[in-house]
């Protein structure tokens, strides 16, 4: 069967809209290229058919890549990175636990270990006021120097999921557990399949700038092609209407 002019208009419009949605994802990736622990995303589209005729595409899912980013060495003792599988847990204002790979933590006015949004890190200890230095071991053990002696004050656990790609984005580089991700398994770093914690290190974004810029160029050209198709089809429709009036 031959496509009608209206179907061609719909298909070209669908092509333009899908490119715009994909461009939003690429732009979001590029905007977060320097965000610690950020994970790049990709749009997955599905072809649509009506009565065995191709009728465009629609956004099906947004896939997140959980590949580990490069490490950056820092001078801050509460900058932490996970080498391998796992997430840090933080407590949200409503009491829920969110998960992140961003290990840029600090001490707040109450001496709680918090992330950049002020959400407390989930762990089983506290930092005493007379702590002179803080050191986090690969297994999450937190040591503080007090009067020349290193003392253990707690342990930072890690969480991992059967399907981390199924986590729901909370915003601010945080994710929430879902039925798709599966329940969180809490464990000790450097044990039972969990990654190890590195001190004075931050995990950078896993965005590949070359791939994203290439994708952006392809999207711009694809959008232009769909736009020309739409404009030419619109011109044909206008000419057909004019001929009907003669």
The parent domain of residue 192 ranges over 71-203
Same-domain check for residues 142 and 171: yes
Same domain assignment for residues 13 and 132? no
When divided into structural domains, the chain yields a total of 2
Question: Which residues have a Cβ under 8 Å from the Cβ of 132 and sit 6 or more positions away?
Answer: 144, 145, 146
Residue-by-residue pLDDT tens, the chain, 246 positions: 455 666 666 677 777 788 888 888 999 999 999 999 999 988 876 665 555 555 566 666 778 888 999 999 999 999 999 999 999 999 999 999 999 999 999 999 999 999 999 999 999 999 999 999 999 999 999 999 999 999 999 999 999 999 998 999 998 999 999 999 999 999 999 998 899 999 999 999 999 999 999 988 988 888 787 777 777 776 776 776 677 666
**One domain, residues 189 and 240:** no
pLDDT of residue 1: 47
- Residue 185 and residue 213 in one domain: no
Looking at the structure, tell me whether residues 78 and 198 fall in a common domain: yes
Q: Are 21 and 117 part of one and the same domain? A: no
Same domain, 86 and 166: yes
CB 179 within 8 A of CB 165: no
Cα–Cα distances in Å, from 56 out to 13, 48, 92, 124?
8, 5, 41, 53
Q: What are the phi and psi torsion angles at 29 (to 5°)?
A: -60, -50
- Are 76 and 197 in a shared domain? yes
35 lies in the same domain as 150: no
Pair 145, 189 in one domain: yes
85, 184: one domain: yes
Looking at the fold, whether 43 and 18 belong to one and the same domain comes out as yes
């Amino acid at each position: 069967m031959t496509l009608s002019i209206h179907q061609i208009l719909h298909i070209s419009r669908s092509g333009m809209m899908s490119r715009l949605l994909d461009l939003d994802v690429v732009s979001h990736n590029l905007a977060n290229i320097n965000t610690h622990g950020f994970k790049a995303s990709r749009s997955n589209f599905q072809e649509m058919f009506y009565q065995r005729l191709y009728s465009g595409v629609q956004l099906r899912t947004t896939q997140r890549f959980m590949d580990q980013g490069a490490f950056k060495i820092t001078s801050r003792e509460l900058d932490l990175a996970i080498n391998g599988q796992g997430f840090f847990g933080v407590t949200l204002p409503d009491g829920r636990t969110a998960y992140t790979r961003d290990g840029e933590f600090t001490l707040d006015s109450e001496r709680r270990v918090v992330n950049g949004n002020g959400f407390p890190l989930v762990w089983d200890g506290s930092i005493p006021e007379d702590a002179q230095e803080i050191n986090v071991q690969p297994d999450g053990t937190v040591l503080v120097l007090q009067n020349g002696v290193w003392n253990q004050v707690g342990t930072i656990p890690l969480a991992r999921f059967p399907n981390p790609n199924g986590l729901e984005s909370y915003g601010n580089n945080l994710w929430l557990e879902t039925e798709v991700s599966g329940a969180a398994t809490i464990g000790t770093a450097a044990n039972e399949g969990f990654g190890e914690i590195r001190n004075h290190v931050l995990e950078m974004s896993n965005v590949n700038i070359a791939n994203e810029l290439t994708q952006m160029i392809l999207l711009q050209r694809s959008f232009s092609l769909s736009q020309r198709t739409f404009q030419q089809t619109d011109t044909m429709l206008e000419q057909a209407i004019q001929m009907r009036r003669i």
